[in-house]
Structure 1
């Protein structure tokens, strides 16, 4: 027995929410299939040696990139205000190096190949530039959207840095609420 009220429909599922789990499942099946092919050709101990060696190499890469990132952070924090920021390339690419190390640590041959590609400096620099450009485009598109003005207004400050103390009185509140007759609290703590 139904009434005249419309039934609520579930929001439509985005394409990414549908395709990402399918892609991960396909990647896992492909990794397992490749591992079995290599195990048949070279033997199980060879596959185990490959996986352990890649894991150790990935851990070393992550440790090195993390140490380098921490060193860059401490150098930046210890600089005097107004000092020139060094423009060396020592701070760039730590995130992609860590991603490469993580991919090496994951068991599988495809992830190992992608991790080894990220260890190559030309690949890392091109991927970093591509990622930076795409993020800038998305940020520009987001700032021109309906919330773009809100982001701009949130950053507006008075040029002289003065703060004007005051209080807000709402005109839509009933008159009896505004005028309680008692003293008002001070504006500054």
Structure 2
């Protein structure tokens, strides 16, 4: 059976947060501990906004120059996770959140992930025939065929074929016979 780390983290992180609150609260006091948690949430929201806006501008610049902003998109996800971690009360999550705001740490995570990420794009064009396959292909993608290069074959099982007569019958409306 394959071990998943997520259930382990869902148990380990709250336990580590409780232990950190007890230890830090015992050293500096309850009010100072709560003040630190509140302060890290405020700092995290400012960092999220500041780095998020800069990253958004870099993604826009990459898109305008017709490049895929893969690295910047992954950095954006890491900044979002960092913001969530900093808004979550606790010292362990705050430490992880502040680490993700450091660009060198994000670059390290990017280098570890980039070979596992596949970016797929969609093209908006149509596929045209090659000029050597018959027809005259033009630069605008239009293929000009002669009459001997095109034949129409009707499928008798198609509801739109002339053999079944579905297109030749007038539509008299619902429930009306011909």
Q: Provide TM-score, normalisation by structure 1.
A: 0.57
- 1:22-44 Cα offsets, whole Å, 9 max, x none, are 53133212212221221122211
Equivalent-residue separation in structure 2 for 1:71 and 1:155 (angstroms): 25
1:158 partnered with 2:127: yes
The equivalent of 2:176 in structure 1 is none
Which consecutive unaligned segments of at least 5 residues does structure 2 have? 129-139, 144-151, 171-178
Closer, same or farther: CA 155–76 of 1 in aligned 2, 3 Å: closer
Residue 110 of structure 2 is aligned with which of 122, 128, 136?
128
Closer, same or farther: CA 171–54 of 1 in aligned 2, 3 Å: same
Greater share of residues in helix = 1
1:45 shift after superposition: 1.2
Total equivalences in the alignment: 149
- 1:102-137 Cα offsets, whole Å, 9 max, x none, are 22221111111111211222211111122222213x
Larger Rg: 2
The equivalent of 2:10 in structure 1 is 24
- 1:77-97 Cα offsets, whole Å, 9 max, x none, are 7x5xxx676x9x988834323
Closer, same or farther: CA 71–122 of 1 in aligned 2, 3 Å: closer
1:176 shift after superposition: 10
Q: Provide TM-score, normalisation by structure 2.
A: 0.60
Equivalent-residue separation in structure 1 for 2:162 and 2:31 (angstroms): 84
Q: Is the 8 A contact 2:78 2:106 kept in 1?
A: yes
1:33 partnered with 2:19: yes
Equivalent-residue separation in structure 2 for 1:36 and 1:26 (angstroms): 15
1:58 partnered with 2:44: yes
